[in-house]
Amino acid sequence: MTQVQAGVSQGRRVALTGNEAVALAMKQVEPDVVAAYPITPQTDIVQYFSSFVADGQVRTEFMTVESEHSALSACVGASAAGARCMTATSANGLALMWEVLYIAAGLRLPIVMAVVNRALSGPINIHCDHSDSMGARDSGWIQLYSEDAQEAYDNLLQAVRIAEHPEVLLPVMVCLDGFIISHSLENLEVLPDEQVRAFVGTYRPDVWLLDAARPVTMGPLDLQDFYFEHKRQEAEAMARAVPVIEEVAAEFGRATGRRYGFFEAYRMDDAEVAVLALNSTAGTARYVVDRLRRRGVRAGLLKLRVFRPFPQRALADALEGLAALAVMDRAEGLSTAGGPVFVEVRSALYDRARRPLTMNHIYGLGGRDVGPDQIEKVFDDLLQAVECGEVRRPVSHLGVRE
């Protein structure tokens, strides 16, 4: 849920699914190349986009390939040649791209990819959790997470600017929950085509393979002499993405009235206990916070929007005053130390003298529903921890049959 500033002219109000919203954003950007392979629940995105191509509404080169590995490989080749490229995938499709994820980031190619979050096999499952994108968290891709169709649309437009910024030049994943957001019809505001084109601008790469005046080599063997330095440059680019993400969000806010940051703090000013959540679960948690507030509980929510680069300092500042915090992970890290978001949040809080009692609730794996009553139970656990002064069960699985 975004904040809309009064007085800013708004776009057209439409009803779209999350997949339709992403496909429309891609149409408005009109990338040079889209390479695609279908996988549930992402397929609608590239199917809708293929219709735009077939109907002559965009001049994009649409490439149908034999696998997700080939889809991202085609994007790597096209991006290296100077094209603006996009693709989309889910779960096992992302896993099949695995080696190419690292190649795209290592070659500093600003590819934008929608990831419709789905459980990663096995066992085989086609419903939502975050095991796919969380598994790719260290691949060098920036990761934006979307609560609803509006945020997925807005994130995709901002992703183009972030990826192509000369201080960044890293690929970006725009994540949205499978079926919950991808296939649900929602009201949102979309911008006029000309406003989108003005916002994203024209991609003019500084280095590209087809520049005969300045020949370069991409993807060579990179051994002991230089590999370490190149990975350090990649890490520095991720750090430089922090102010760029903020700058792009501020410009987008001025244009649309919809304000974004690394996270959204909801009723956190005087909160004693809070949950931290990503994607669609944040909307349910916000409802629970309001319900608890009416009963006098000082509850709050922090919705994390950007997971890579991880906003550790700002996040720690926002959480420092709490008595207790529950981090909700829709992925099982299988580390015995908790889910991937919990581990990062706990690390960010480690040096803070006033850090809250912190617990982890792993939930919703394989698409298992999480409702208000379950999230209220998370708040009950937080209040009990505050009362007794300790977290007796740091990691638990919410809603599982014991």
Which residues contact residue 285 at a Cβ distance below 8 angstroms, ignoring those fewer than 6 apart? 275, 277, 301, 303, 328, 375
End-to-end Cα distance, the chain: 34
Give the domains, in start order, of the chain with CATH numbers: 3-259 (3.40.50.970), 263-398 (3.40.50.920)
| Structure confidence at residue 11 (pLDDT) | 86
Is 252 within 8 Å of 260 (Cβ atoms)? yes
Which residues contact residue 274 at a Cβ distance below 8 angstroms, ignoring those fewer than 6 apart? 268, 299, 300, 301, 302, 319, 322, 324, 325, 326, 382
pTM of the model: 0.96
Give the pLDDT confidence of 209-246 residue by residue, as tens digits. 999 999 999 999 999 999 999 999 999 999 999 999 99
CA distance 381 to 174: 32
CA distance 173 to 139: 11
| Structure confidence at residue 8 (pLDDT) | 52
CA distance 6 to 17: 26
Give the pLDDT confidence of 238-297 residue by residue, as tens digits. 999 999 999 999 999 999 999 999 999 999 999 999 999 999 999 999 999 999 999 999
- Token digits for 142? 């920036």
| Structure confidence at residue 5 (pLDDT) | 41
Give the pLDDT confidence of 354-397 residue by residue, as tens digits. 999 999 999 999 999 999 999 999 999 999 999 999 999 999 99
Measuring CA to CA, which residue among 274, 281, 256 is closest to residue 378?
Answer: 274
Q: Vertex 82, ends 81 and 86: CA angle to 5°? A: 100
Average pLDDT over residues 171-184: 98
Q: What is the CA radius of gyration of the chain?
A: 21
| Structure confidence at residue 9 (pLDDT) | 46
Percent of the chain with pLDDT over 70: 98
Region class of 122: left (phi > 0), else alpha (psi between -120 and 50), else beta: beta
| Structure confidence at residue 402 (pLDDT) | 80
pLDDT at 112 over 70: yes
Q: Is 184 exposed, middle or buried (0-12, 13-18, 19+ CB in 10 A)?
A: middle
Is 150 within 8 Å of 2 (Cβ atoms)? yes
